[in-house]
Amino acid sequence: MYKIIGADGKEYGPISAEVLRQWVAEGRADHRTKVLPEGATEWKTIAELPEFAATPATSVVPPTTPGPISMSPVPRNNSYAVAGLTLGILSLTFGLCCCYGLPFSVPGIICSSIALNQIKRDPSTQQGKGMAMAGLVLSIVSIAAGVLLFALGMALSMPDMLRRLRRL
């Protein structure tokens, strides 16, 4: 009969040699597991006991160097997508209030397009498709709003221009 100290630090047993061999075969115990044989006063590892030396799972395995750790890449926001969204917001804001959205619209379209291509090419490490799409849409809407406001301004000022031309 044997008592063992499990991996959780708790003492189990008494158990028979057959049960201990079964636990070794199941992987519940190995060569490092501490064992106290009945009548003994000192704890030993299973590998130190001659009756378990022939068991393959209890043979002492030399320490090996750990293998390479493989981690899947963490997807990150594409920086062009963030820039495209920022430029799209700026282009619409300045385009509607100050009529100066064009300097932000064109770079917004370019950055958003680059971001969409990069995300499409490597979706496992790139994310931010929604931001890139939003930046693209905002930049295009800003250009369309600028053209519309310009046309509206020209149409509203046309009667004044015609009056001035008649006076000449």
What residues does 35 pair with on adjacent strands? 4, 44
Q: How many CA atoms lie within 13 Å of 62's alpha carbon, on the beta-carbon side?
A: 2
- Listed ranges 22-26, 130-134, 153-157, 160-164; the one with the highest mean pLDDT: 130-134
Q: Indicate if the pLDDT at residue 32 is higher than 90.
A: no
Please tell me whether residues 87 and 160 are part of one structural domain: yes
pLDDT value for 109: 96
9's torsion region: left (phi>0), alpha (psi -120 to 50) or beta?
A: left
Q: How confident is the model at residue 13 (pLDDT cuts 50, 70, 90)?
A: confident
Bridging pattern class, strands 126-127 and 76-77: parallel
| Contact between 126 and 76 (Cβ < 8 Å) | yes
**What pLDDT is attached to residue 55?**
53
Q: DSSP string of 7-27? A: TTS-EEEEE-HHHHHHHHHHT
- Joined tokens for residue 50: 């001659």
Q: Are both 101 and 49 inside the same structural domain? A: no
Query: Is 96 contained in some domain?
Result: yes
Average pLDDT, the chain: 84
Query: Does some domain include residue 90?
Result: yes
Say yes or no to pLDDT of 18 above 90: no
Cα–Cα distances (Å) from 86 to 90, 106, 148, 152, in that order, read: 6, 12, 22, 27
Note whether 96 and 46 are same-domain residues. Answer: no
Residue with tokens 């958003």: 112
Query: Which pLDDT tens digit goes with each residue over 93-121?
Result: 988 877 778 889 999 999 999 999 999 99
Residue 127's DSSP bridge partners are 77
Quick check: is 152 in a domain?
yes
Considering the domain boundaries, does residue 68 fall inside one? no
Model confidence pLDDT, tens digit, residues 151-166: 888 888 888 878 888 8
Same domain, 31 and 84: no
The last residue of a domain, from among 12, 29, 58: 58
63 in a domain, yes or no? no
152 and 107 fall within a common domain: yes
At 138, list the tokens.
Answer: 């905002």
Q: Which of residues 83 and 31 earns the better pLDDT score?
A: 83
Regarding whether 54 and 25 lie in a shared domain, the answer is yes
Contact criterion met (CB below 8 Å) for 47 and 53:
yes
Angstrom CA distances, 167 to 17, 53, 160, 164, stand at 118, 117, 11, 5
Length of the chain: 168
Q: How many domains does the chain have?
A: 2
**Mean pLDDT confidence for 45-60:** 67
The boundaries of the domain holding residue 54 are 2-58
pLDDT at 59: 44
pTM of the model as a whole: 0.53
Does residue 86 sit in the same domain as residue 159?
Answer: yes
